[in-house]
Amino acid sequence: MTDLSLHHFVILSAMLFCIGIYGLIFNRKSIIGILIATEIMLLAANINFVAFSTEFNDITGSLFAIFILGVAAAELGIGLAILVIYFRSKGNISIKELNLINDTI
């Protein structure tokens, strides 16, 4: 059985963070995809917090991770609620339509 070290968790979180950045930069067609990419980036930060918290025997990193999970859940819930309301009023949630709204405000 292999032993996982801090190095493995840092590499995993860096890979997840890069996937999230890729989703934010290159996925400009779907609002849901942008929200998911943001969640992936927050989970990568959580992996780092928990890994370093375990490595240094300090509970502070784990507490930050729990706080980030709560904020991420609230952000996703509010974002999806706004999208549902917008979809009911306009009939679609495309990025191009949202850009037109920003130009008129």
- pTM of the entire predicted model: 0.79
- Pair 39, 72: CB distance under 8 Å: yes
Indicate the angle between helix axes 31-55 and 60-90, nearest 10 degrees: 170
The model's pLDDT over 67-99, given as tens digits with 9 standing for 90+, comes to 999 998 998 889 888 888 888 887 777 766 666
Q: Which domains are present in the chain?
A: 6-104 (1.10.287.3510)
The answer, yes or no, to whether residue 104 has pLDDT greater than 80, is no
End-to-end Cα spacing for the chain: 59
The model's pLDDT over 17-64, given as tens digits with 9 standing for 90+, comes to 999 999 999 877 778 888 889 999 999 999 999 999 999 999 999 999
